[in-house]
A and B are shown apart, each in its own frame.
Chain A
Amino acid sequence: MTTAEAVRVRTYVQALNEALDLAMTRDPSVFLLGEDIGRMGGDFGVTRGLFDKFGAERVRDTPLSEAAIVGICVGAAMVGMRPVAEIMFADFLGECYDQLVNNAAKMHYMFDGQFKAPLVVRTAAGGGFGGGPHHSQSVEGWFMNVPGLVVVAPATPADAKGLLAASIENDNPVLFLEHKGLYRVKGDVPEGYYTTPLCRAAVRREGRDVTIVTAMKLVHDALAAAEVLAQEGIEAEVIDLRTVRPYDAETLVASVRKTGRAVVATEAPKMGGLAAELSATLSEECFGYLKAPVVRVSGLDTPIPFSVPLEKLILPGKDDILAGVRQTMQ
């Protein structure tokens, strides 16, 4: 972190808004684009007030043209701008997948370093609010296999602000995942501009018996689970990944070598996703230290239904993490 100032309580949405405001104030090459982000301030209010402050040139409403939104980011970034796009829901990233995966992520490599793509695509991810199959998905797995792309996923308001500022400053293309279940969460947020380093996990709680590795909303569930476990005499270490790709393997491996047990918790479907990747790395790097197999706690391998009780069955939470930890402790 740079520049620590007074700390106040802010929501995750307010923290994101502050990061955008301060980044735009500092750097004239930063501009925003997306659907209804102008006067309306975005579907979740993240850009509220910025249109009035910075004007229509730098806070640009677009048509429903997701490929163009991200394509514009790539083109503008190629000539020195730092665009920040909002894709209303992460489920819509399929509409601009090509621009992210084949263009933004490969630009620097395939043209031998002649271009950079310093852009940020912010999007609302995650379920738990009855959004149904196309407004609830956790999409990090879609992007795990994309060299050149950075995927950032903050869990707290302070990180939301610092990581967004760092993502805007960074010269690589960043997909910035904002969990919808966190938007109203409050926390301490330093005033003023600061950045939180990318690719560094945070140890949210120290413990000696088991490591819980997770991100976004499940960080809070993991911390709640750790409280319950503490009452049973089990001390869980909770690691918040913060950057999902490239992730901080060093911190994870050190923790699991210490505790000898690992639970990897993600909201996305189990197969082939972030949890699979983390558990493979932990098995490779910590095999001799492990007292039990790595356990994955994930969403079921299904789409996400609209029905509230059905959705609850599919998405993991505190109880599933507890069950996962108990499995490793047997």
Chain B
Amino acid sequence: MSIDIEVLMELYRDMSLVRAFELGLEREFKRGAVPGMLHIGVGQEATQAALAAHLRADDAFFPDHRCHGLNALAEEKHGGEGRRIMAELFGRATGVSGGKGGSLHSANPAVGNFGDNAIEGSFMVTVLGVALAWKMRGEPRVACCVIGDGTVGRGEFHESLNMAKIWQLPVLYACVNNGYAISTPVAASHASGDIVDMARGYGFPCKQVDGNDIEVAYAAVQEAVAHIRAGNGPYFLEFKTWRWQGIFSGEFRPAEEVRYWKEDHDPLKLARQALSARGVTGADLDRVDAEVKADVESWIQFSKDSPMPEAAKAVADVYVGWEVKPR
């Protein structure tokens, strides 16, 4: 498994961007500049970078609540603007959903982003419809949904995997197993601590990979996407990872576990090690970090400088073609 050094460098940059995005966002959230709720994806950067690397603008992905980074990467890679993802989180008119969606409903179909749904995992069945339409029309595209381990508890998980199989739909399930749903560990809520075992019964390829090793995650997504694009039906990937942030600040995670994931198994640290083993200097990587950080700061400034949505937007687009009266 040897990825070109240029590709690995780009993946490192992408991961670093995701981290900078999330940390900048969290800082602004704590300052009160970002309204609502916030779930950040620090610790899960490798999964997002791996998905962003292989999904095309004319594929579709349904991001989960920790995918701001994936959303921003899709913008940057496919002719959009990462700063519009940030502006959406600030609820501004310049955001991808015009400020009406926020963190949990940022979409931009032009870059393949079909939007999160704050009803966790509801899009596990929506994704089937996108995939079915493409299959009926003979378009070799991939429809991906990103789901957490906790979200696997939804009944739609079963409905989705079952129908993806019987209709051989081009669906990529990207399950981000970070060990917990809010405070509840996987072992307490699922019949198997390995989600992949729950998926296997549906009879299509399923794989569990180290979601923090970017080379492994990249190769896994590559293989899955190739399988799906070739018309072979669905594919399930479980990424073993860990989120640094709790959904709420109260945490129940053992100190040794926290230490392991933050110190020994941080996806960015692992990538730096891999790159330095191949001759890239720490200074080169620091430069990348500084560049993406500067980008993110400019996105935050852009968001703060952007106007709020116009009042007329409050009643716009409830129906296609019919108006709703303002107050």
Where the two chains meet, the residues of A that have a C-beta atom closer than 8 Å to any C-beta of B are 31, 57, 62-63, 65, 67-68, 70-81, 83, 98-99, 102-103, 108-116, 118, 147-148, 150, 170-172, 199, 246
Contact = CB atoms under 8 A, between A and B. Distances in A.
Given A76-B133, A147-B324, A65 B163 contact: yes
A103 B129 CA distance: 13
A76 B139 CA distance: 13
B158 to A, nearest CB: 8
Contact of A112 (B101, B132, B159, B160): B101
A75 B107 contact: no
A109 B318 contact: yes
B129 A108 contact: no
Contacts of A78: 109, 114, 126, 129-130
Nearest to A113: B317
Nearest to A106: B105
Given A71-B156, A78-B129, A111-B115, A172 B100 contact: no
Given A79-B134, A81-B133, A112-B97, A71 B119 contact: no
B128 A75 contact: yes
Contact of B163 (A63, A76, A114): A63
A36 to B, nearest CB: 15
B122 A109 contact: no
Given A57-B136, A63-B166, A115 B129 contact: no
Given A74-B129, A75-B130, A171 B320 contact: yes
A246 B324 CA distance: 10
A31 B136 contact: yes
Interface string B140-167: 0001000000000001100110110010
A81 B126 CA distance: 13
23 contacts: A62-B163, A63-B166, A65-B159, A65-B162, A68-B156, A70-B125, A71-B122, A71-B160, A72-B125, A72-B129, A73-B129, A78-B129, A81-B129, A103-B126, A108-B319, A108-B320, A109-B317, A110-B101, A110-B105, A111-B115, A114-B109, A116-B320, A172-B321
A75 B162 contact: no
B166 A74 contact: no
A67 B159 contact: yes
B228 interface: no
B316 interface: yes
B98 interface: yes
A105 B163 CA distance: 23
A75 B108 contact: no
Nearest to A73: B129
A99 B131 contact: no
Contacts of A63: 159, 162-163, 166
B126 A99 contact: yes
A68 B320 contact: no
B168 interface: no
Nearest to A57: B136
A112 B166 CA distance: 34
B306 interface: no
Interface of B: 60, 96-101, 105, 107-109, 114-115, 117, 119, 122-134, 136, 143, 155-156, 159-160, 162-163, 166, 313, 316-322, 324
The 4 A-B pairs of least Cβ separation, nearest first, read A75-B129, A71-B125, A112-B98, A76-B129
A103 B122 contact: yes
Contacts of B130: 75-76, 78-79
A62 B163 CA distance: 8
B122 A99 contact: yes
Contact of B126 (A74, A80, A113, A246): A74
A227 to B, nearest CB: 36
B133 A75 contact: yes
Contacts of A83: 129
B122 A72 contact: no
A68 B136 contact: no
A71 B129 contact: yes
A42 to B, nearest CB: 19
Nearest to B118: A102
B133 A102 contact: no
A71 B166 contact: no
A256 B163 CA distance: 51
A58 B117 CA distance: 28
B5 to A, nearest CB: 37
B55 to A, nearest CB: 15
Contact of A114 (B97, B159, B160, B162): B97
B317 A108 contact: yes
A120 to B, nearest CB: 14
Contacts of A71: 122-126, 128-129, 156, 159-160
A78 B321 CA distance: 17
Given A71-B126, A75-B131, A79-B130, 8 more contacts: A31-B136, A67-B125, A102-B122, A108-B318, A111-B107, A111-B115, A147-B318, A170-B320
Contact of A99 (B97, B125, B155): B125
Contacts of B124: 71
A81 B107 CA distance: 19
Among A75, A99, A115, chain B packs the most CB atoms within 10 A around the CB of A75
A292 B134 CA distance: 58
A100 B155 CA distance: 16
A101 to B, nearest CB: 9
A106 to B, nearest CB: 8
A72 B126 CA distance: 5
B101 A113 contact: no
A246 B100 CA distance: 23
Contacts of A115: 107, 109, 114-115
A63 B313 CA distance: 40
A114 B129 contact: no
Contacts of B322: 172, 199, 246
A172 B320 contact: yes
A215 B316 CA distance: 29
